[in-house]
Chains A and B, each alone.
Chain A
């Protein structure tokens, strides 16, 4: 991101001082508001906390036993599976729909810029607004979705209250929220493709479909990789939508690692801060792995 240090700058010690003086606030801030909460979170996961010792801060050190508790918990593997399904399905649909729309809007017809801007709305709305709107649309008795199903002769579905459907419901809402991001990023990638390439393809008589698969899609590979990885990191940590729509239920049917971590720490009358923090740290590790892949991919795409 930054250019390499130039020798002239290195000679001037005063310049280095000034440079770090401008950085000092952010460095202190990162220490106090990133590193320290993360350290506290790690500490939480390594001790046996009760409500009393949480306040007083004298909980005994128990090593990795919270992690053992979490992995042995019957909720663990379902939560991992739900996280994987939620993330995988969300990404597949967000990305393919986003890319199709980007290619469509790239054709620059009348109103295309305005309509493309309107597509950003779902991404900009507060998540609680989107989640509660979807909750009402998917309401079993009075929701518009079931009304539409009845109209075409299908049986209504208990979207949010049946274990078979709740994960699908929160995934649908999440796909809707994620489409704009994919659309905008892929669109900006399309703009970087030189117009001459398309003109040459058109001269050669290439049809739109083969132009897409032979030219557009391969040229968009770097942007696609970045979009997908970033989407992956965003989706792994989705909490608001699921919590507001189903609270992870019914019977844990839509519980992911993020909602489980929150429920352990805050969702019960008797908080289990240690296991909650342990689940959170596992989630961080997963996000970090994909984060590092993302950074490598991005560097390679730029060089």
Chain B
């Protein structure tokens, strides 16, 4: 195959793969009256923005809540996993291997089962339907991953850097804050991106722990939409398009971090 032909095949394959994404955008722009035409309109020739108007009218609070929950989850995740990664990578605590193992296993627990335990605890504590409770639950998806990434990254920092800090009289805390953390920017970015994306996308914890709340995330916004007005699919798909913006931005702005994050857990140590 010539190189030009390969590019052509690649474009076609990508187009097939992304067809559902195109279809979501197409439906979001389709008029209600055209929605059930047979065959469906392949292009939004009589496009309408009524779906997006519905998003502006009804979904903005949900989007705000999701933003807040995502940022909160990022803070919790980085604050917990960066020091732990530093310790496991550079300070070599006895029993660190066991902890790494526990974190690996923790990643494998289905969140639907975690959700049931959280529900029982939150009900007793009276923190069901609270943003803080949801942030803490969402962070369980990202913290083991975060420790893994930080440990792997910080293991690779040249020993000369920390040795120089020690000669200057810096203790572990100072070394962590002024030497390790600044050069670990890439790891911080990767962990933050994924923590945000996972919290933003979370449906399991939201529906079990925040189902009756006044400050629900966008995933529940879409879910209620599907349940309530089954007919207005342009509004549902418009909300879906808006809810996909963070993932799209992430891919455009930080593509190499994304690929690094996907593979980090699987093939690297």
A118 in the interface (beta carbon within 8 A): yes
Question: Are A121 and B18 interface neighbours, CB within 8 A?
Answer: yes
With contacts A19-B91, A23-B93 taken as known, whether A2 is within 8 angstroms of B223 at the C-beta atoms is no
Evaluate contact between B35 and A277: CB separation under 8 angstroms. no
The minimal Cβ–Cβ distance linking B220 to chain A, given in whole angstroms, is 9
Residues of A in contact with B, size category:
35 or more
Interface: B263 (CB within 8 A): yes
* A54 part of interface (Cβ distance < 8 Å): yes
Check B267 against A239 for contact (C-beta < 8 Å).
no
> Which of A2, A55, A280 interacts with B113 by CB under 8 Å?
A280
The answer on a CB contact under 8 Å between B121 and A37 is: yes
Q: Mark A204-223, 1 if CB is under 8 A from B, else 0.
A: 00000000000000000001
- Residue B265 at the A interface, CB < 8 A? yes
Q: Is B167 an interface residue (CB 8 A)?
A: no
Residue ranges of B at the interface with A (Cβ–Cβ < 8 Å): 3-4, 6-7, 9-11, 13-14, 17-18, 20-21, 23-24, 27, 35-40, 79-81, 83-84, 86-89, 91-94, 96-97, 99-106, 108-114, 116-121, 123-124, 136-137, 139-140, 143, 147-148, 151-152, 155, 171-173, 176, 197, 200-201, 203-204, 207-208, 218-219, 222-223, 226, 233, 236-237, 240, 243-244, 247-248, 250-251, 255, 258-259, 262-263, 265-267, 269
**DSSP majority for the A interface?**
helix
For chain A residues 2-42, which have a beta carbon within 8 Å of chain B?
2-3, 5-6, 9-10, 15-16, 18-23, 25-27, 29-30, 33-34, 36-41
The answer to whether A302 touches B84, judged by C-beta atoms less than 8 angstroms apart, is: no
Is there a chain B Cβ closer than 8 Å to A95's Cβ? no
Chain A: residues with CB nearer than 8 A to chain B?
1-3, 5-6, 9-10, 15-16, 18-23, 25-27, 29-30, 33-34, 36-41, 44, 54-55, 57, 101, 104-105, 107, 109-112, 115, 117-130, 132-137, 141-144, 147, 150-151, 176, 179-181, 184-185, 188-189, 223, 226-227, 230, 233, 236-237, 239-240, 244, 258, 261-262, 265-266, 273, 276-277, 280-281, 283-284, 287-288, 290-291, 294-295, 298, 302
